[in-house]
Amino acid sequence: MGLKERLQEDLKAAMRAGDEPRKTAIRMALLAIRMAEVEAARPLSEDEILRVLQNEVKRRREALAELEKANRPDRLAAEQAELEVLLSYLPQPLTREEIEAMAREVIAEVGAATPAQLGEVMKRLMPRVRGRADGREVQEIVRRLLSGPSAGS
C-alpha cells in the first residue's frame, strides 16, 4: 500500500474513531498532495508525496514557533498533535553517526580527499539520505570529513 492510500485509510479510521487532530492533519496532508498533483498534472510518486509531507511538517513547526511567540496555548496543543500525526508517516530520521558512516562510504567511492570535492560527494550522497536527513547537516558532516586529517579514509 502506498503512502497516499495509507493516508486515505487512516483518515477513514480517524473519522470512525472521532479522532479530530488525526483527522484534521490527514485531511490537510491529503489536500496538499492533491494540490501538488494538480500542479504537476499527474499523480505523484512516493518520493514526491514524501516531500509534500515533509513540507507540511516544516509548516507545522513554523506555525508552532509563531504560536509560541504569540502566546497562543489554545492553538499550540492542536498544532503539536497534528505535527506528531504527520511525523508518524515520515521515515525514521538518520542519526548523525549513520549519516557520517554513509558519508565516509561515498567519500571512499568517489575517492574524495579535499573540500573541493564536496559537490561530487553531496551529489552521490543526497539521494541515499533524502527524506531522512537535513541537507545542511549532511553538508556540514561531509565538509568536516573532507577537511579533517583523515579525509578520504
Domain count, the chain: 2
Quick one: 24 exposed, middle or buried, by C-beta within 10 A (0-12, 13-18, 19+)?
middle
pLDDT above 90 as % of the chain? 49
Model-level pTM?
0.69
In angstroms, the CA 104 to CA 141 distance is: 10
Say if residue 82 is in the same domain as residue 16.
yes
Domain that holds residue 8: 3-87
Predicted local confidence at residue 78, as pLDDT: 87
pLDDT in tens, 94-103: 889 999 999 9
* Mean pLDDT (whole number) for 112-119: 88
The residue written with cell numbers 494538480 in the block is 38
Query: Is 152 among the domain residues?
Result: no
pLDDT number for residue 15: 95
| Residue after which a domain boundary falls, among 87, 105, 132 | 87
Q: In whole angstroms, what separates CA 132 from the centre of its chain? A: 6
* Residue 153 pLDDT > 50: no
Last residue of a domain, one of 87, 110, 130: 87
Taking only the tens place, the pLDDT of each residue in 37-53 is 999 999 999 888 988 99
Q: Is the pLDDT of residue 152 over 80?
A: no
Angle at 76 between CA 71 and CA 79, to 5 degrees: 145
The whole-number pLDDT of residue 149 equals 61
Contacts of 56 (CB under 8 A, 6+ apart): 28, 29, 32, 86
Cell triple for residue 101? 558512516
- CATH number for the domain spanning 126: value is 1.10.10.410
Give the CATH number of the domain where residue 19 resides.
1.10.1510.10
What is the distance of C-alpha 74 from the center of its chain? Answer: 27
Region 83-112 average pLDDT: 90
Contact criterion met (CB below 8 Å) for 25 and 81 = yes
